[in-house]
Amino acid sequence: MTKLGQSERNGQMSEVSTSPDGEFGAVIAEFDHVDDPDVFERMKNMPALRTALVMKRPENWWGTGLNPKVLFAIAKDDGIPVAWVPPSAVLIDLAAAPGS
């Protein structure tokens, strides 16, 4: 373990891990799964997935299963804000609309 700094945990100082198999390594490993449609169910038992989701996606994208490229195209082509503003159900409807 490489000592990057210290963090306070339970009132005591502890080393912060920078090794790829440490806690942050688990978060990075979940980055590829943040757009999975079953993310809500999976994150109940996987704190690293929840952290990855918080880091990588706006909350209204969670659980939609939509590819971010589709959402970016809606924002660019139609001028509709897709991050944070519309509920998830609206995003799914927009992505399924003809011409999307």
Per residue in 18-71, pLDDT (tens digit) is: 444 568 899 999 999 999 989 989 999 999 999 999 999 999 999 999 999 999
Q: What DSSP state is assigned to residue 68?
A: H
> Is the entire prediction scored with pTM above 0.75?
no
- Of 36, 33, 61, 77, nearest to 97 by C-alpha is 77
Do 69 and 41 lie in a common domain? no
pLDDT-derived band at 87, boundaries 50, 70, 90: very high
Percent of the chain with pLDDT over 70: 77
Do 34 and 73 lie in a common domain? no
Do 3 and 22 lie in a common domain? yes
Do 73 and 91 lie in a common domain? yes
Cα 37 from Cα 15, distance rounded (Å): 36
Enumerate the β-bridge partners of residue 59.
none
Do 41 and 72 lie in a common domain? no
Residue 47's domain spans which residues?
1-56
Whether the pLDDT of residue 76 is over 70: the answer is: yes
Written as one letter, the residue type at 6 is: Q
* Pairing of β 12-15 and β 6-9: antiparallel
Do 1 and 50 lie in a common domain? yes
pLDDT value at residue 13: 44
Do 62 and 100 lie in a common domain? yes
pLDDT value at residue 99: 77
Residues 6+ apart with CB under 8 A from 24: 17, 18
The domain tally of the chain equals 2
Contact 98, 74 (CB under 8 A): no
Dig out the tokens for 72 from the structure: 């970016």
